[in-house]
Structure 1
Amino acid sequence: MPVLGLGLHVLVALFFAIHALRSGRELYWLVILFMFPLLGSVVYFAVVFLPDARLQRGLRRAGAVIDRAVQPGRAVREARAAVELTPTAANQVRLARQLLEGGGAAQIAEAVALYDACLQGPFAADAEIGLGAARARLAHGQTHEAIALLASVRAAQPGFRPEQVGLVLAEAYTQAGRDAEAGDEYQFLVSRFGSIEARAGLALWALQNGRRDLVERELAELTLVRRHMNRHTKSQYQGLFQRLDAAAGK
């Protein structure tokens, strides 16, 4: 067992050494990695590898945003070309997602039609497709159909992305005027997940329904969270926070 452990440490150090060479890091990292295989790897991971991975993810996201701004229809064109070449359910779902991101009425209607086509075939019970179809229906103003789809997904696969299903369902209840059910759903999501999306949703619901106790509690929690967010995380939730601040009169 000690030999196996030592070998694993060396393999990890070798992996990080390759990363250091490919990314142009200083050569002293190689000395640290191989003189202290375990400690050196831990230090390299914390100081170099993890921040570099986060930076790369941020750059990829920024690149995607810039690409959409410079070529706004490119993703839809590429997805449409893939459907025309190979009309599989996966390609149809990809196109439907891109159309939903566009947000235009005609695009949303086409996304609904694409999801409907997928739900008629062998993937009719696919939970991911069901969730996407519900989002498309909700964006298209078909709230009752969206609720029915989400209820079907939750009944068939209760463990499938429960927070996402719940958030879409709560929004669908709100749009359908089923305020009590929307409030129950948001409170359940806050108690189980406590996420920013769930708390903001509950705060918005509470503001619309005169629940000052919930408004004060959730706004206090969100204010504390926002105070400790870095700039990148704040930018991710900027639209949600702006909507919440406007509703709260800030």
Structure 2
Amino acid sequence: MPFFIISIAIQIALVVHVIKTGRNTMWIWAIMGIPGLGAAAYFLVELLPILLGTRAGWQARKKLNNVINPNKDLNQASNDFEVADTVQNSSRLAAEHLEKDQFEEARALYDKCLSGIHEDDPYFLFGRAQAEFGLEQYPQVRQTLDELIRLNPDFKNVDAHLLYAKNLVELGETDLAMKEFVVLNETFLGPEASYRYAMLLKDQGKTEDAERIFDEILKAAKVADKHYRARYKHWISLTKSELKDTL
């Protein structure tokens, strides 16, 4: 890829990052108006402090890499798997397929990982359940998650808990799903669980309760920092739409 095209791609990625994270819009003029130097300054001032070891930094770097080369991690994982067919490489490739919504491939790899000393690994079971959910195999999802809990009673994972609740909704077990969402509404980091709980209440005709939770989501977003609002922009936007529809 010519250097000019790579340079333009990096500038666009940084501008998108400025907008999505709510940083000072003067950075846009610097990045686009002073090619090279503006991008370098933004990286040093805004990105480098984040990238030094924090989870947020890792996520920011991954997003930037995905803009420039969206299949880099998947290709690397595939190459590593071809070189050495290990459980570590298999699970990494499975996770990359899962992130790309390639659920059949992910499920097959997680099935492969779940053998020998790893046959009851909770993370591999959770990965398989996610792939099954993506394939809309809801009875299998429940079976996998029930097995996960049975084999790993001390395993605590709020994302797995959310998946369990979402799957109950798909199975039509509304009362059980409601009980799970009551807990998730208080414990899940971010607004997704609360939004899904509110939607379930709305579907059950409990409009006032749903609106109260929608209001709580927006109040939390209002007092949160810009990184929180950028990270959960999708769920905040959906919540605003729901409240707008009730006016």
- Work out whether the TM-score is over 0.5: yes
With normalisation by structure 2, the TM-score equals: 0.71
Counterparts in 2 of 1:159 and 1:147: CA distance versus 1, 3 Å:
same
Residue 110 of structure 1: aligned partner: 105
* 1:248 Cα offset (Å): 4.4
SS at match of 1:122: helix
**Contact kept? 1:200, 1:244, Cα under 8 Å:** yes
**Contact kept? 2:91, 2:109, Cα under 8 Å:** yes
Residue 87 of structure 1: aligned partner: 85
Amino acid at match of 2:64: I
Amino acid at match of 1:68: N
* 1:201 Cα offset (Å): 2.2
C-alpha separation in 2, matches of 1:171 and 1:62: 28
Residue 3 of structure 1: aligned partner: none
Residue 215 of structure 1: aligned partner: 210
With normalisation by structure 1, the TM-score equals: 0.71
Percent sequence identity over matched residues?
Answer: 23
* 1:52 Cα offset (Å): 7.9
1:63-102 to structure 2, matched below 5 A, reads: 63-102=61-100
Q: Which runs of 5+ in 1 are unaligned?
A: 1-50
The CA RMSD measured in Å over matched residues stands at 2.3
Counterparts in 2 of 1:229 and 1:177: CA distance versus 1, 3 Å:
same
Residue 152 of structure 1: aligned partner: 147
C-alpha separation in 2, matches of 1:249 and 1:119: 46
Residue 180 of structure 1: aligned partner: 175
User: Alignment length, in residue pairs?
Assistant: 197
Amino acid at match of 2:78: R
C-alpha separation in 2, matches of 1:110 and 1:227: 40
1:2-81 to structure 2, matched below 5 A, reads: 54=50, 56=52, 57=54, 58-81=56-79
Matched, 1:120 2:120: no
Say which one has the larger Rg: 1
* 1:169 Cα offset (Å): 0.3
Q: Which runs of 5+ in 2 are unaligned?
A: 1-46
Counterparts in 2 of 1:237 and 1:153: CA distance versus 1, 3 Å:
same
C-alpha separation in 2, matches of 1:194 and 1:75: 26
C-alpha separation in 1, matches of 2:209 and 2:197: 8
Residue 22 of structure 2: aligned partner: none
C-alpha separation in 2, matches of 1:194 and 1:79: 29
Counterparts in 2 of 1:147 and 1:248: CA distance versus 1, 3 Å:
farther
**Contact kept? 1:199, 1:218, Cα under 8 Å:** yes
- If asked which structure has higher relative contact order (CA below 8 Å, sep 6+), I would say 2
Match of 1:129 among 116, 124, 127: 124
Counterparts in 2 of 1:184 and 1:80: CA distance versus 1, 3 Å:
same
Q: Deviations over 1:166-200 (max 9, x none)?
A: 10101111222222221111112224557533322
* 1:85 Cα offset (Å): 1.3
Counterparts in 2 of 1:143 and 1:229: CA distance versus 1, 3 Å:
same
SS at match of 2:65: helix
